[in-house]
Structure 1
Amino acid sequence: MGYDRAITIFSPDGRLFQVEYAIEAVRQGTTAIGVKSKDGVIFAVEKRRLPLQEYIGSEKLFKIDDHVGVAIAGLTADARTLVDQARVHAQVNVLSYNEKVSILETTRDLCDQMQLYTQNAGVRPFGVSLLVGGVDPDNGTKLFLTDPSGAFWGYHACAIGNGSPAAREYLSKEYNPDMSLEELKKLTINTLKEVVEGDFETDRFEIAMISTEDKLWKLLSVEENQALLDSLEE
């Protein structure tokens, strides 16, 4: 009893309950998917909003630098703080070393910050997980999953959020590392369709991509999303 009242106290079986509660906040978040191949990285996120609500303030896709971005599940406010730090880190790297920051270094910096909030009294863990992906300066594509504990893992394809168990199962069956960017887009859409309840229209998802050809973050427009949906029915 009482072991979940402070982040600095381990339970007798070695658990930090506040971290586990933060992980549960991620599980309750909207579904986010990241996939990569040699041609680039694709992010797709589920959108939820009330009929009268604007999308401003509830974004789930963020650009860190031209060549790197994130998709998030969990508390958006927590994610914005981490994203702002990652953006500063990316620009400091350019000013200090005259080169783009690597995807791994960006992930490590994010996770170092998240880990600090698991060992200091008076704070709480970040209630968010991020899929960090992009194209490294050496043209290699990378995709990492971060955890509220500060741990991270590399993936070819991954999903987080409320629908992640079904999405990961679908990805494990359908993903192929040799897929083109167009095939990856269709894969992410089909994966979201497996987990999103109700009608699946363009207002239910967003997609962003970074290709190895131009190494630029691009958020697909509503028209491009509709064309992608139409192509699935052909």
Structure 2
Amino acid sequence: MNMQPSGRGYDHGITTFSPDGRLFQVEYARESVKRGTTTAGLKFKDGVVLVCDKRIISRLIIPESIEKMFKVDNHVGIATSGLVADARQLVARARVEAQVNRITYGATVPVDVLVKKICDFKQSFTQYGGSRPFGTALLIGGVDDNGIHLYETDPSGAYQSYHAGAIGSGRNTVIEFFENNWKENMTLNAAMKLGLEALRTANDAELNREAVEVTVVDSEGYRVLDRAAVNKQIDRLKPLDD
């Protein structure tokens, strides 16, 4: 009897290794991220800019009701792509970790410490029966005593630090754009312009002014740009070629 190798039996119920060393549940979670909206982040000389496209699919939807950006603490923000419901659980966990650090040590949590704690939590859901990986990737940006940080986290619990990064359906296009255009010590306006240009390049269409959100984390803390400020930045972009 010929047995064809497949993922059957190794992708149901629990996360376990297949004979060729793959974790199918983690791979499925990554596919969920790839289907998510494009989200980008990049460092500038004073902090981090996070940019996302909410992908409004109906004019009946109120754009402000869709959450893709989250404040964790005054010095840390998170942008997500994938299953937003999963992301909210991770954000809630991150907020608790930030407050525990503040109460225990009387200081804000270092960004790298927070990222490691969240990724340890994510990894645990790839290891035990009866659970599934979180179907979301996170861009975590922040500023602390150690400098300016931008991390990308994976459903597996892996994480990497970037000067500029992206998650979601347009990730590869945005990363290529940043590799060609990102520079150190950019101003805030230059960073926002570059992030919006990258998002537009990934969508291959003009940006929906009601669907784009921009947040900044710098020495002034975490703040969300209002609609007028976002539109002002979009107005600075050159029109796409016909």
TM range, smaller chain: over 0.9
**1:233–1:61 CA distance, 2 compared to 1 (3 A):** same
User: Quick one: which of 26, 39, 44 aligns to 1:32?
Assistant: 39
User: Quick one: which of 174, 178, 189 aligns to 2:185?
Assistant: 178
Between 1:180-189 and 1:192-201, the stretch displaced more is: 192-201
2:63 corresponds to 1:55: yes
Structure 1 match to 2:4: none
Aligned amino acid, residue 81 of structure 2: A
2:23 corresponds to 1:16: yes
Structure 2 match to 1:226: 231
Once the two structures are TM-superposed, the CA of residue 92 in structure 1 deviates from its matched residue by 1.0
User: Quick one: which of 6, 11, 14 aligns to 1:4?
Assistant: 11
- Partners of 1:197 and 1:71 in 2: how far apart? 21
State whether residues 63 and 210 of structure 2, in contact with CA within 8 Å, keep that contact through their aligned partners in structure 1.
no
2:166 corresponds to 1:155: no
Q: Secondary structure at the match of 1:202?
A: coil
Once the two structures are TM-superposed, the CA of residue 158 in structure 1 deviates from its matched residue by 0.4
User: What is the TM-score of this pair, normalised by structure 2?
Assistant: 0.91
- The structure with more radius of gyration: 2
- Partners of 2:14 and 2:65 in 1: how far apart? 28
Aligned amino acid, residue 85 of structure 1: R
Structure 2 match to 1:125: 133
**1:13–1:190 CA distance, 2 compared to 1 (3 A):** same
Q: Secondary structure at the match of 1:110?
A: helix
Aligned length: 231
State whether residues 73 and 129 of structure 1, in contact with CA within 8 Å, keep that contact through their aligned partners in structure 2.
yes
Q: Secondary structure at the match of 1:4?
A: coil
Once the two structures are TM-superposed, the CA of residue 196 in structure 1 deviates from its matched residue by 2.0
Aligned amino acid, residue 59 of structure 2: P
**1:56–1:184 CA distance, 2 compared to 1 (3 A):** closer
2:155 corresponds to 1:143: no
State whether residues 42 and 191 of structure 2, in contact with CA within 8 Å, keep that contact through their aligned partners in structure 1.
yes
Once the two structures are TM-superposed, the CA of residue 57 in structure 1 deviates from its matched residue by 4.8
Structure 1 match to 2:171: 164
State whether residues 6 and 18 of structure 1, in contact with CA within 8 Å, keep that contact through their aligned partners in structure 2.
no
- Partners of 1:171 and 1:182 in 2: how far apart? 16
State whether residues 47 and 204 of structure 1, in contact with CA within 8 Å, keep that contact through their aligned partners in structure 2.
yes
Once the two structures are TM-superposed, the CA of residue 139 in structure 1 deviates from its matched residue by 5.7
Q: Secondary structure at the match of 2:137?
A: strand
Once the two structures are TM-superposed, the CA of residue 233 in structure 1 deviates from its matched residue by 4.3
**Percentage of matched positions with identical amino acids:** 44
Q: 1:196-215 to 2 correspondence within 5 Å?
A: 196-212=203-219, 214=220
Note the residue ranges of structure 1 that are not aligned, 5 or more in a row: none
